[in-house]
Chain A
Amino acid sequence: MNGLIYAFLAVGAAFNALGAVALIRFPDVYTRIHGATKCTTFGSIFSILAVAVYGIVQGGGAGGTMAVRAFLALVFLLLTNPTGSHALARAAHRSGIKPFRAVVDRLEEAGHGPRTTDHGSQENG
């Protein structure tokens, strides 16, 4: 069981490191969101799984509580992370940031570019 915990911790740390490097290395906002969201979600899932396995191995009331809470944290991360990154990407596009060296930009063509949306309320100025 200890081997499994070590493996989970190592994989989690590796992918979180990759997320941080992606945040530094990629050229524009959208690609940074790609790297940061995917890698840190995956890495955090493995880190939290390691804690959950540790709690199960420990057993008893305290260990069980730890496993359950870690599992809930995992579910929340899995639900909220992609949604938040989607909101950030849409906000970046609507605030007028062009994708770096984009081949196509159908969102701009569809008229969902800066400040011409019909979602929600329109702002004044």
Chain B
Amino acid sequence: MIVALPFAVAGLAMLGFILVCMVRLGIGPTAADRAVALDTINTLVVATMVLLGAAFNQVVLLDVALVYALLSYVGTLYIARYLERGLS
């Protein structure tokens, strides 16, 4: 149940921005472009989770956002490593 409407509205706006980033994820001419788009989407997802955690008054969502922030960072590093020197 939504207890704080402004946060829910901001979270919905973030979802819109994620859709805009997905355009770049789809059309990006090189693999690096897509990786950058994915990294941006990860940051926006963390922000969205924190906002929705406040909107629904569920602290669990903030914990998920913390773990997601750290894991998406590791994922970005591995994608960068793969772009650099392939599967070695």
A–B: direct contact at CB < 8 Å: yes
Instruction: Answer yes or no: A84 CB below 8 A from chain B CBs.
Output: yes
| Total A-B pairs, Cβ < 8 A | 163
> Per-residue 0/1 for A62-102: is the Cβ within 8 Å of any B Cβ (1 yes, 0 no)?
10011001101100110011011101101110110100000
- The A contact surface, by secondary structure, is helix
Report the bound CA distance from A94 to B24 in whole Å: 21
Report the bound CA distance from A123 to B83 in whole Å: 12
In the complex, the answer to whether B69 meets A76 with C-beta atoms within 8 Å is yes
A77 contact set on B, CB distance < 8 A: 43, 46, 69
How close is B17's CB to chain A, nearest CB, in angstroms? 4
How close is B53's CB to chain A, nearest CB, in angstroms? 7
Contact for A91 among B4, B46, B73, B81, CB less than 8 A? B81
In the complex, which residues 11-26 of chain A have their Cβ closer than 8 Å to any Cβ of chain B?
12-13, 16-17, 19-21, 23-24
In the complex, the answer to whether B59 meets A24 with C-beta atoms within 8 Å is no
In the complex, the answer to whether A20 meets B50 with C-beta atoms within 8 Å is no
Report the bound CA distance from A98 to B39 in whole Å: 21
Contact for A23 among B10, B36, B88, CB less than 8 A? B36
A70 contact set on B, CB distance < 8 A: 50, 54, 62
Report the bound CA distance from A3 to B57 in whole Å: 20
In the complex, the answer to whether B65 meets A73 with C-beta atoms within 8 Å is yes
A residues lining the B interface (CB < 8 Å): 5-6, 9, 12-13, 16-17, 19-21, 23-24, 29, 32-33, 36-37, 40-41, 43-44, 47-48, 50-51, 54-55, 62, 65-66, 69-70, 72-73, 76-77, 80-81, 83-85, 87-88, 90-92, 94-95, 97, 115, 120-121, 123-124
